[in-house]
Structure formats: structure tokens, C-alpha cells
A and B are shown apart, each in its own frame.
Chain A
Amino acid sequence: MIAAKGRPRPRPRPRLRLRLRLRAPRATRTNALHPGAWWIWALGLGTAASRTTNPLLLALLVAVAGYVVAARRTEAPWARSYGAFVKLALAVLGIRLAFAVLLGSPVPGTHVLVTLPELPLPDWAEGIRVGGRVTAEGLVFALYDGLKLAALLICVGAANALANPARLLKSLPGALYEAGVAVVVALTFAPNLIADVQRLRAARRLRGRPDRGLRGLLHVGLPVLEGALERSVALAAAMDARGYGRSAEVPPGVRRTTAVLTLGGLVGVCAGTYGLLTAEGGGYGLPVLLAGLGAALGGLWLGGRRSLRTRYRPDAWGVRAWLVAGSGAAVAALLILYAAHDVYAAAALHPGVVPLTAPTLPLWPAAAVLLGLLPAFAAPSPTDTRTATATATATGKEPS
């Protein structure tokens, strides 16, 4: 640092300086993106995916989500869940196609690819078909449909990989905080259980028993459960000794109001939902639902007053969080608007299956989907050892 002061560095050219300033900072706890922003972004992409069956658009959405995950995911344990979600999505796609082949498809088709032997079914099973003709139209329809589901799953997986679940739970309102802590404890419990199983299976080896196979697993079951129980009791003691569940004194009036608001709100939500879903309740459904929601939220807010808790370094909702959440919301909103107002929308978003037509990539929706790439540039980049050195060499300077 002193050496740098002694020998003034050539200042970067103005355009370069601007680029440096716009470049996303390295992620630290201070500038960590609010996990809610990632979820809004991912749900936005998911909403967009649910609005179309155009395989090109869906592939573009998946690619956008995948790119952002690749660019911004950390090396944390939850970040590894993305791979699992991708596999799940592929499995869903496979199952959807297999069903279309085996059970046939409601879509009438003329291009018969193959005819499977059909299973004769009794009369009462009318409408169900097993085997029979497999048409290209049916397969393409199933493919589009499966792709939509797969894209949705991948969007959820992206949110899981990018947002820290523990921190998301900590953003819950005060009254739900303790429940959030319980969930966090449960989340850390599972890895502990797995570690226990591994340790005890290793111990079986020390006793000269086979440490592999199902029997080995079954035999450690009881000790593992015992250990888990003991650990929970110890943890409960530690939490109690550290002030878990301390509550502030509130006047009885406030307490009663809280109970009434929360219960009333929940009843309102139930009644409102029922009203919305039944045919005759259309008139009162929405207002009751909204009133119920309002009452429940008020109850939560009032209930929060009983909690003494404060938050340590809550994730701030800053400009970058707005950008990330906004980009997802924009993708969803633009696609919905396009579907509602463009005359060619139906054809572009839902390419025809009967007759078979090649899907085309509609320009405006594609451009809208590309907006979802914004987090890959706006969100703070994780401090990965590789990228850290790469950035350092690329910019030629270390923060000093």
C-alpha cells in the first residue's frame, strides 16, 4: 500500500473507470443479495415459462436460468441442489414422454410413428387406452408440455441454488421468527444425521462387521436415532440457556387483539378462497379473502411486538436486489402483456401441434426473456478462488 502511494499508478481511462464502477462487486456478507430477490426473479421466470409452450422460448428460459446460476452460485452446500433439480426436470420430461407413448394422447394425429400392441381393456375402463398408435403430434404435444414443467422446476432449482435458505427464513416477520429458527435447526439436523450414520457405519467396520450394505444401515438405525434425540435435548437446553423464547410483556388487550386478528384473518382467508373457487360465491370471494389476509398480517405484525428479537445484519434490499427482482418480474409481466395484447401471440407462444408446424422464435418475447440475464451482471459475484484471481489479473489491481 505504501509502495503504491509512492509510485502513483496511471489512472484508468474514463471509460474503463466507468466499467469498473458498474462491474458487480465481490459478494460479502454486507452486499449479499436479499434471498427474496432471487426467489422473485426465479418465480418471474417460472411464471413466464408457464405462459408458453414454445420449445424455443422455454429452452431460452432454461438457458438464461442456467447461465445466471453458473455465474453467481457460490460453493455453499445448498448451491449444489441445482444439479438435482436439473436431473428431476429431465426425469419429469422423460416420464411425460413415456406416458404419452404408453397411454396415448388426447391429441388427434395423422403422422403415425409406430403402433404398439394395444392392451384390450374391459368396457368400464372406456376412455383409457394402453398401447396403440403413437403419433408424432402426440409426442410433440407431450414434449412441449413436459418442457414447460421442466423449465418451471429448473427455475425453482435456480432460486434454491442462489438463495441461502437459512437467510430467507430469517427474513420472516418477527412473530414467525421462532418458527424460522426451528426450521433452520431442522435443516442443520439432517446433515448431522447423515454424518452420524457415516460415523456409526465406520464404527461397525471397527467391530469387524461389514460396513456396507443394507443390513449395516439398519443396524446403526437405533444408535443414530438415540444420538439424534440426545443431541436435540442438548440443543434445546443450549437454546433455552441462550434466551430462546424470551418474550416481552405486552398488555393483555394487545394479546387478545392479536389472537382475534390472526384467527379471524385465517377464517377470512379460508372463506374467501372458498368463495373464489365456487361458482356462486364470485361476488364476495375476493373482498373476504383480502380482508382475511389483511387481518392475518395485522395479527402477525401485532404478534411481533411480543418478540424481543432483533436482527443481526439483515440482508438489505438494495439497488441490486431491485434489479434482480425487477428483471424477473419484468420477464413475467412482458410475456403476460404480450400474450394479452399481441394478435399473433397465441400462435407464437403456443405453436400448433395439429397440424405440425415448426415453432418459430417470436422476437419480442425472446428479448423479454433475455432481460432475465440481468442478475448475472448485477448481482455481487461470489468470491471464488478462481474467479477472484482472474478478476485481479484482468483488472490489474487489487483493492488496497
Chain B
Amino acid sequence: MIRFEDVTVTYDGATRPTVQGIGLSVQEGELMLLVGPSGVGKSTLLGAVSGLVPHFTGGTLRGRVTVAGRDTRTHKPRELADVVGTVGQDPLAHFVTDTVEDELAYGMESLGLAPDVMRRRVEETLDLLGLAGLRDRPVSTLSGGQQQRVAIGSVLTPHPRVLVLDEPTSALDPAAAEEVLAVLQRLVHDLGTTVLMAEHRLERVVQYADRVALLPSPGAPLTVGPPAEVMAVSPVYPPVVALGRLGGWSPLPLTVRDARRRAEALRERLAGIPYESPHESPYEDAGTAGPVPARGGGTSPSRRTPRLFRRRTPQTSGTRDTGATRTPVTHRPAVVEGLSVRRGRAEVLHDVGLTVAPGETVALMGRNGAGKSTLLSALVGLVPPAAGSVRVGGLRPDRTAPADLIRRVGLVPQEPRDLLYADTVAGECAAADGDAGAEPGTCRALVSELLPDIADGTHPRDLSEGQRLTLALAVVLTARPPLVLLDEPTRGLDYAAKSRLVTLLRGLAAEGHAIVLATHDVELAAELSHRIVILADGEPVADGPTAEVVVASPPFAPQVTKVLAPQKWLTVSQVREALRASGGPTGDPR
């Protein structure tokens, strides 16, 4: 269906080809997953299928790409529109019209389908993607997951034979991602649609793939094979594969079910090892955060407040005091009480309470549009509270001058680029020093520490997603805020960048920074957070230590937990440490 013959793509001005000597053939009705670290040319390959590379992006394509027998050299993207449907990384950039229904119909209108056919397909697609309730909504008012579903729906309606998806689930919460993947699965199995998809979050997609194409490094040849075989050699792999590699299982498990069946021996062995709860795990030893007791989600705010105060007393200061009205309360990085935020007439947050201690990492989870980002915005004073109070280091963020506030709290927004204005890394750092009133060179030192191999003259736009995130984080950290907030930090990051970020954030927590991250990435939350707060429709519905929350709610459980339940292991590294500590070969538990 899709055939690459010795394809080499060189962009204008680039010194070497982005992808080189690619030969690949995707059969009809196959779901092929394209994996690899960031920057190896996955998006370029996907673009070549729809003809956007090179017709739209420029550059030179050597070799031949044919889709359903049409050569992309002679067919422009618009002439391939009836066989290829493409969804890019950013759904908002994809929308042409203003409402959901018109958006779904747009592609069919371009192709000139009959009105009754269009009507029928729009209705089918609305049902297929669960969008019926949103049909008249303007696309700009939808949440990220809804937008992604509309974007996929909008290319599904012309019934393309090939679907090309670039990171379709990275912006979605776990449930919405499942929905999208279930839809893809149905398309492949019921309609025989060919799907070519790139995705960093392998734990979500790898089990659905028929074959996996791996680009291990830039310019390297493609490795194609069954998922289990490719995963054995891939530099990027999901936790379940990591567990399989640790256990030396062959073939490697791709799903939680496979892994559970094989993990019996491992579970038995681990059962003998005393379970280390995450707040005693090594990366928190240096931190000041003590054990965090679970808090009932159903307690009323009036009863919750004094308990919060009591609970934190031993951690923030050495002296134990019985009064709930002690002054050190104001020195906590963040205290949120009974917070409500309204947008227009809608209440986005309702009666939210949250206290963050120094050195503590809190993950905010919940479906798209649950109010996670709004809570972060409230903590930096971007949205004023409608009721309740927010205190950051004892200050009201919405009434504090920005220059003072950045010494109390720093936010890395969902799009880190928003924070960066200058046209070189050096310029950005100088500006950050100026803004924070820090010693000249502070920011640059941070950047060199976090990103060792980065030149002063690089334009922030030319950095990879992970590098840009790290630069923004360095800019925020220049003012040394005790509270660091991150909004969806792992969007678009590969596993290597993610693990660097995890190491970085653990170090920050160990230095006593409080960290709050809003994320859909259950693996990241499991790796990093001491506590998880789950928001639903603007209200906290669960709040407790990570291990307890994720074991209790499967949608938010990382793969390792699912495999080893009822034991409360969260990450592969934990399991590895435990096995090593217990002596005995880590290679094969049997």
C-alpha cells in the first residue's frame, strides 16, 4: 500500500540527509508503528507518504514513494487527499473551519462527495469518535483530547485507505488515548485501513502494531520486524518491555497481560523482598519530605484544613508545635484552600485544597479539561481565584508583582517556547539573569549543567523539544523559586529525554524544591511523584501517596504496577534495585 524505495531526504541548507536509504513496504490493512528517538526523521518519513515532503516543505527527495500505486513525485498532496489522511502533531493547526461538524465535512467537500454520503459519514464518524454531543461546538473551545479526536475524525470521513498519524496520543489523557487507539484498531480490522503511525508513548501503542519500523539513530537504516523482535534491539522501549528485558523473557511481552502471565516467578521473588514505599526510595533521601499520609478524597474542606496544617508541621520546621495557627505556614511553597476559579459562567475549579511541602513532588492527573492547567495558572497568579485562597510562599500570586513572584514560583508552560523570546541561547540566559536579578552567568551555568553540549549561538527554535523544555526550565530556575510547576512536560519527549528530565527533577526535589507537575503520563508520575492528586471536573477526587493512588485506580497505574499488582512496585528501576539489593542474579529470576 505504501512503498518506499531507497528514499533519501535532504532539506535545503542541511549538510546531510535527514533520512537515508529507506526501503519500506507497508501492506494493506497493516498497522505499522514507526519508532525511534527524537530527531531521527520520523516526521519526515510520515510527511513523505502524504506528499507534503518534499512538495510543501522543500528539500530533495531521492528514490520513490508510492501510495496505492500513485507516485508522490507526480501527485501533489491534494491529489493524494482521497487515499491518504494525515493528522499532525498539533490538532489546532489542522482545523480549517470553525465548528466540529463542518470540520468533519471539510475533506469530503474538497473531494466532491455527494451530500447524502457526506451526511451519513459525518453521523457515523461522530458516533465512532464519541463526538455527537460536540457537533455544534466551535473547535477552539474543545479540550486537547476532543480536538485530537476531531482531527482524526476529519481525515476519517473521506474514507482514506491510508492513515498517517504523527503522535496521535501524546496530548491525550490515558482514557482518551485508549479511545483513539480503539478507533484505529477498529479501522484496521473492520475496514482494512492501512495505518502508519509515529508515537513516543510506546506503552500505549506497541501492542496494537502489526509490525514496527525502527529508526535507531539519524541516518541509520530502518529495522522492520514484529514488535517483540524489534523491541529487543530498540533504544526506545516501554516499561513492560524493560521488565521483560530485566527478567530475560523471550519473546518479550508487549502487553500487560503477556507480562503478567510470565511474571509469576518474579512476583514470588519480589514478594519476599520488603516493599520499599516510594517516599523512602533513594531519590528522596536528601529531601525534606517525610512520609505523606493518605488523605480521604471525601473530607469536607472545613475538616481538611486543620489536618493539612497539622500534617506538615514536622517537615517544615524542626520544632513541633501544637497550634494550627503558627506563622511558618506562610513559608510553605504552596498552600491552596477552598479554591474556586471561574471562566465566564463555568466553574473550572471547585473547592480545591492542596498543600505542597518543600522537596515534595506532586503530580496532578485527570482527564483533559479537568482543571490541571488552571490550577497551575492560579498558583502563578494568571487567573484570580473566585473564592478561596492561594498562597505561594505566603504571598497572593495574583496580587504580587511578577518580579517578586518569580522568586517564589516558576512555571514551565505546556509550550515551553512561550517563555523564550531571544534569538540565541546566550541572549535568553542574559535576559533571564536580568529578569531574576541573579548574578550574570547564573542561567548559563544552569544551562551548561542541564544541557552540556549546547552552543551559545543556537536559536531556541532549532533545539529539540526536550532541549527547549530544559532551556525553559533553566530560565525558570535562574530565580531559584522554591516551587517549580510544569505543565505536561513530557509531551513530545522520547524515553531518553524523559529519563534525563526525571533525573533533573529528582535532583531539584532533593535540593528542596517543591515540584508540581500536571501530566497525563502515568509512567512519569510513577517515577517522580511522591503524591498524586487526581482532578475530575475541577474537583480533587483522589489525593494520596503515589503507590496507593495508582494501585487503586488502574487508568492511572503504570505498567509495572499492573504487571506486579497487588504488590506496589511502580517502576522498573525500583524492581531492579530491589532485586540487586536482595542479591542474586538480576538477569533471570527463574
Contacts and interface: CB of A to CB of B under 8 A. Distances in A.
Contacts of A246: 78-79, 81, 110-112
A210 B405 CA distance: 11
Contacts of B402: 204-211
A202 B109 CA distance: 39
B77 A312 contact: no
A181 B96 contact: yes
B96 A239 contact: yes
A124 to B, nearest CB: 55
A184 B107 contact: no
Interface in A216-246: 219, 222-223, 231, 234-246
A151 to B, nearest CB: 31
Given A208-B479, A219-B421, A245-B78, A234 B112 contact: no
A220 to B, nearest CB: 8
Interface string B241-273: 000000000000000000000000000000000
Interface string B188-208: 000000000000000000000
Contacts of B90: 234
Contacts of A210: 401-402
A272 to B, nearest CB: 35
Contacts of B435: 207-209
Given A206-B406, A235-B93, A310-B113, A242 B106 contact: yes
Interface string B54-80: 011100000000000000000011111
B375 interface: no
A313 interface: yes
B504 interface: no
B380 interface: yes
Interface in B358-407: 377, 380-382, 401-403, 405-406
Nearest to B421: A223
B80 to A, nearest CB: 8
B109 A312 contact: yes
B576 interface: no
B405 A243 contact: no
B118 A312 contact: yes
B76 A312 contact: no
A223 B459 CA distance: 13
Contacts of B51: 241
The main secondary structure of chain A at its interface with chain B is: helix
B238 interface: no
Contact of B88 (A185, A234, A243): A234
Interface in A242-265: 242-246, 248
Contact of B93 (A219, A223, A238, A310): A238
B84 interface: yes
B554 to A, nearest CB: 35
Contact of A312 (B88, B119, B419): B119
A313 B115 contact: yes
B124 interface: no
B140 A191 contact: yes
A312 B110 CA distance: 10
A243 B86 contact: no
Nearest to B53: A237
Interface in B293-328: none
Interface in B134-191: 135-136, 138, 140, 154-155, 158
Contact of B413 (A203, A211, A239): A203
A348 B27 CA distance: 81
Contacts of B84: 241
A206 B109 contact: no
Nearest to A207: B435
Contact of B405 (A202, A208, A308, A309): A208
A29 interface: yes
Contacts of A184: 96-98
A243 B98 contact: no
B157 to A, nearest CB: 10
A29 B101 contact: yes
Interface string B89-104: 0101111111001100
A311 B52 contact: no
Nearest to B413: A203
B111 A240 contact: no
Contacts of A310: 108-109, 112-115, 118
B122 interface: yes
Contacts of A77: 138
A23 interface: no
A350 interface: no
B63 to A, nearest CB: 21
A244 B105 contact: no
A311 B109 contact: yes
B537 interface: no
B50 interface: yes
A333 to B, nearest CB: 35
B82 interface: yes
A204 B435 CA distance: 10
A200 interface: yes
Given A208-B436, A231-B93, A310-B118, A29 B52 contact: no
B476 interface: yes
A88 interface: no
Contacts of B88: 234, 237-238
Contacts of B418: 199-200, 203, 223
A313 B435 CA distance: 54
A242 B380 contact: no
A140 interface: no
Given A208-B436, A237-B56, A243 B136 contact: no
Interface in A174-198: 181, 184-185, 187-188, 191-192, 195
A206 B417 CA distance: 12
Contacts of A211: 402
Contacts of B432: 207
Contacts of B475: 207
A243 B421 contact: no
Contacts of A242: 78, 81, 96, 106-107, 110, 154-155
Nearest to B99: A166
Nearest to A204: B402
Nearest to A188: B98
Contacts of B50: 241
Interface string A291-323: 000000000000000001111111000000000
B428 to A, nearest CB: 10
Nearest to B436: A208
A208 B122 CA distance: 47
A222 B436 CA distance: 23
Given A242-B154, A242-B155, A185 B78 contact: no
Contacts of A195: 140
A154 to B, nearest CB: 26
B481 to A, nearest CB: 10
Given A29-B136, A166-B97, A241 B77 contact: yes
Nearest to A167: B102
Interface of A: 29, 77, 166, 181, 184-185, 187-188, 191-192, 195, 199-200, 202-211, 219, 222-223, 231, 234-246, 248, 308-314
18 contacts: A166-B98, A184-B97, A199-B413, A200-B418, A203-B419, A205-B405, A219-B421, A235-B93, A237-B52, A237-B77, A241-B50, A241-B77, A241-B86, A243-B158, A245-B78, A308-B110, A310-B114, A311-B115
Given A208-B402, A242-B106, 14 more contacts: A166-B97, A184-B96, A188-B95, A191-B140, A199-B413, A207-B406, A207-B475, A208-B436, A242-B155, A308-B110, A310-B114, A310-B118, A312-B118, A314-B115
Interface of B: 50-52, 55-57, 76-82, 84, 86, 88, 90, 92-98, 101-102, 105-115, 118-119, 122, 135-136, 138, 140, 154-155, 158, 377, 380-382, 401-403, 405-406, 410-411, 413, 418-419, 421, 431-432, 435-436, 475-476, 479
Which 10 pairs, one residue from A and one from B, show the smallest C-beta to C-beta distance?
A243-B81, A243-B110, A312-B105, A308-B112, A234-B93, A208-B406, A203-B418, A208-B435, A238-B94, A240-B77
